[in-house]
Amino acid sequence: MTQIKSFMTADPVAVQKDKTVFEAVKLMNERDIDCLIVTDAHKPVGLFTTTDLRVRVVGEGKDPKKTPVMSVATRDIKMVKDTDEAMLARNIMSKYQLKHLPVVDGGDLLVGMLSITDLVR
């Protein structure tokens, strides 16, 4: 079977949990992405997506320059290890209807991002 590290995007775009929504969205715009991993000491602690921006920031009238990204990010995230089999990632994404999965190493440090597009290539 093929391991996730064969499909993932290495060196994923991430933002520290204490950054503002404004800083996160600026980074997303620069990289032309719709999902950003929120980290604490290189460990994934959340995902911030354009849906989070629409619903939890704009929809609730929050100031992006004053709102910490972690306060509006999705916290209950699923992750996979870079040595896990690709089928496991596909099953998790299917079960929870996810488009992105952070990928961590044996020490739970962020090493990649896996998208549903990565799996179908």
H or E stretch covering 114: strand 110-115
User: Contact, 81 vs 105, CB < 8 A?
Assistant: yes
Please name each of the domains of the chain with its CATH number.
4-120 (3.10.580.10)
Q: Please state the pTM of the whole predicted model.
A: 0.94
User: Contact, 114 vs 86, CB < 8 A?
Assistant: no
User: Contact, 45 vs 19, CB < 8 A?
Assistant: no
Render pLDDT for 56-87 as a digit per residue (tens, 0 to 9).
999 999 999 999 999 999 999 999 999 999 99
Render pLDDT for 21-51 as a digit per residue (tens, 0 to 9).
999 999 999 999 999 999 999 999 999 999 9
Closest CA relative to residue 80, chosen from 32, 119, 33:
119
User: Contact, 4 vs 12, CB < 8 A?
Assistant: no
